[in-house]
Amino acid sequence: MSAVIEPAVAISEVKRQRTQQPRRIKKTHGTAVISFATLIGLLALWIIATKYHFASALFLPSPSDVAVQAVAVASEGYANGTLLDHILASLGRIGVALAFGIGLGIPVGLLMGLNRWAKGILGVPIDIYWGLPPLAYLPLMIIWLGIGEASKIVLLSLAAFAPICFAAQAGVRSVPQERINAARSLGATSYQVFTSIIFPSALPEIFTGVRIAIGATLSTLVAAELIAAQSGVGYMIMSAANFLATDVVFVGLIVIAIFAFAFATGMRFLENRIAPWKGKL
Amino acid sequence: MLSIRNATVKFEAADGTEIHALDRVSFDIPPDSIVVALGASGCGKSTLLNAIAGFQSLTEGQILIDGLPVDKPGGDRGVVFQKDTLLPWSNVLDNVALGLRYRGVPKLERYRQARELLQLVGLSDFETKPPYELSGGMRQRVGIARALATDPKILLMDEPFGALDSLTRENMQQLLATVWAKTRKQVFFITHSIEEALALGTHILVMSPRPGRIVARYEADFVRTFAATGDLGPILSHPRFVSLREEIRSIIHTPASHNERHAA
């Protein structure tokens, strides 16, 4: 019995895992095909419903009407701006808010996870405002900061901040104590324990937080634009609804759906690149 | 030499009762030895290891390395944990080199040393793999290499093979015997397996629970034969091994054996 035997056994284990992987990938491909077919089916239902006038065009415009309107909105514009203007206005607000949310949420959350005092003091205001629906304090933001961009940016930043902050905290608390002990017994300083163990261990949780923050920001954004804005996709939808331009409403909804899908895909890509070990070990 | 003097640890449990995890435990870990703490769960053996590692402070008593007291973790005591604690975002080589990175050893030099250790534990072909692609036994090999990388005086091992299947476990025991014979490290090893304790220990401390204390001490030298021959079979059936095994078994299964016994 020699020490060489065990690695050999393990090699075959590694190989077995590898040969299993293609089958799993094939299965996820299968799911994608089913999802795509469902999408086509929904589109077909939509075409049939409008073609045979199950609903009036006022309630359900046909896909071709929506497409024509999309081109018109894109080239000629609607409600003080082209489609691109509205998209850029909305994306700009999301971008700035996420930058604030990530830039403040991660360090504050890490600090709260590491330090009892920070958690005790900062936890109270965050818990209070996070319990409130953002639209409930939007009027207050408008009174304080005016109707301009500042009130919307602050509102969205608050919506993005809390989930990221909570996630970073949870990430710190979920670091296995043994992993920290191992680093300390290898001679790590407190700073090295933080940079080499705690922060990377918390990364997958932080990603989850950012994904939740994107969802929260997106829904708050559209709602805020519906109420108080002169530009943005939400404003465009509201303006169109006032004139019963249902086809423009559909254009806006499709744009928002594409936003959401693009953000989710982008996050998944980033997560696979930066924290591929998530859920393993 | 590492000395444990009157080590006592008391906790307060969640319900307010006091738990006496360790009670006046004293022993030495002399050079060129494998000291094994053997006992059922709850006998304080993990608390003892955590105290030596510096993760757990003593209520009373002292831990001395070459006469100087220690109370926090350090690179002079390498730890191998029961559940591997490798970093999933680093490959095998970077995991082994971690302690050297903490010390600021330049990259090329720490990789050179890490490769030597990977060769020692038989994992040279796996240096670029992430830990989650390795089997449990291989991960513990990486853990041993990582603990050896800082060139500690003593290796502390907390039931390192407890979670492995019996075949892998025997290979790992043999690896440890070989590594010990080659590196001449002092080893403090925790187990609840009497056979593992006898096969690997030069000194065996039998512990009893509540309060955790040493109830018997044995010396053995089966590990030298094991390291030299690499074959556990003949050792397991050796008459002296069998008689010691039965003796220790009777001590562990006798409740409240308070008399500390000494055997040669």
Do the chains contact at A200 and B87, CB–CB below 8 Å?
yes
**Residue B187, token pair as written in the block:** 């080893």
- What local confidence, expressed as pLDDT, does residue B10 receive? 87
Q: What ipTM was predicted for this assembly? A: 0.85
> With a threshold of 0.90, does the pTM exceed it?
no
Q: If we measure between CA atoms, which residue out of B61, B30, B32, B33 comes closest to residue B47?
A: B61
**Which structural domains are found in chain B, ordered by start?**
2-76+152-253 (3.40.50.300), 86-151 (no CATH)
Distance linking the first and last C-alpha atoms of chain A: 29
Contacts of A277 in chain B (CB under 8 A): 88-89, 130, 132
Contacts of A175 in chain B (CB under 8 A): none
Task: Say if B138 is an interface residue toward chain A (CB within 8 Å).
Answer: yes
| Smallest CA–CA distance from B231 into chain A, residue | A1
Does residue B111 surpass a pLDDT of 90?
A: yes
- What local confidence, expressed as pLDDT, does residue A146 receive? 86
Residues 162-181 of B with CB under 8 A from A: 167-168, 170-172, 174-175, 178
* Packed helices A83-114 and A116-130: angle between N→C axes, nearest 10 degrees: 140
H helices within chain B, ranges in order? 45-53, 92-96, 98-102, 107-120, 136-149, 166-183, 194-200, 222-229, 233-236, 239-253
Q: If we measure between CA atoms, which residue out of B161, B186, B185, B162 comes closest to residue B174?
A: B161
- What local confidence, expressed as pLDDT, does residue B70 receive? 86
Cα-based angle B94, B97, B101 (whole degrees, multiple of 5): 105
Q: Which residues of chain A have pLDDT under 50?
A: 1-21
Contacts of A185 in chain B (CB under 8 A): 53-55, 73-75, 77-79, 147, 156
Helix (H) or strand (E) holding B29: strand B18-29
Looking at per-residue confidence, does A7 or B190 come out higher? Answer: B190
CA atoms within 13 A on the CB side of A84: 4
Which architecture does CATH list for A63-274? Orthogonal Bundle (1.10)
Band (pLDDT 50/70/90 cuts) for residue B255 is low
Band (pLDDT 50/70/90 cuts) for residue B96 is very high
- What local confidence, expressed as pLDDT, does residue A50 receive? 87
- What local confidence, expressed as pLDDT, does residue A191 receive? 94
- What local confidence, expressed as pLDDT, does residue A277 receive? 81
* Whether B35 contacts B29, CB under 8 Å: yes
